[in-house]
Structure 1
């Protein structure tokens, strides 16, 4: 499976909120096992994604990312890096993306047996290499490529 690595970049440092939905999420890693925790998409059956969700501005982006990672994956840990901002689904006419994703790296300290969305979706550890192959959304693949596991 070969995807072009040359998506147009250079705009991911702007924070858009003029009509774009702001989404915060995590790349939850087990740095000792070189693994990434992914969750099942609730929209597309059989699709594995990074935990993420809408950022409400009564919390910091880090808080939103950590909260979504807890709600969707039951993982608790510390945010160790900002992996950048990524425009998703550009509107050709206006040049405004449908959403802007901001991802953080989280070193997972523990994974709870019970978590808010356990009935809605599964979670699973994948090796870093597997995670990069299995995640189909380009913005998520780019975030994975920025995390510390990418630097061997």
Structure 2
């Protein structure tokens, strides 16, 4: 199935306050790693494109595309860190699951198909143990909003 423009959904993932010296990457498919488009001491940022297929049986969005991992009812995006992000010689081997079902439906509806809009996830990047974010990321460790590009 070829996605038409109206089903594209732009997602920006911003990992805030990442631990120093730890690399991050988003997983595409089974083993491809996508590096951040912006990396500073304060944040690591990724941009990915998802597509929306026909709604699921319960009416919820059907997230698809090479960045969408998991089953249709439990889709997520992996944010890998340390060894899983391709970094050698690090003690960290972690992946964070960004649950797509946690995106408020109103945000999905306002951003889907709009090339000037994206859903932005702001993710706390450091866990209590001082290591990179891992496991299923849920509020308050993540917040969602729609951002729009100005003309």
Q: TM-score, normalised by structure 2?
A: 0.28
Q: TM-score, normalised by structure 1?
A: 0.28
Q: Which has the higher helix share?
A: 1
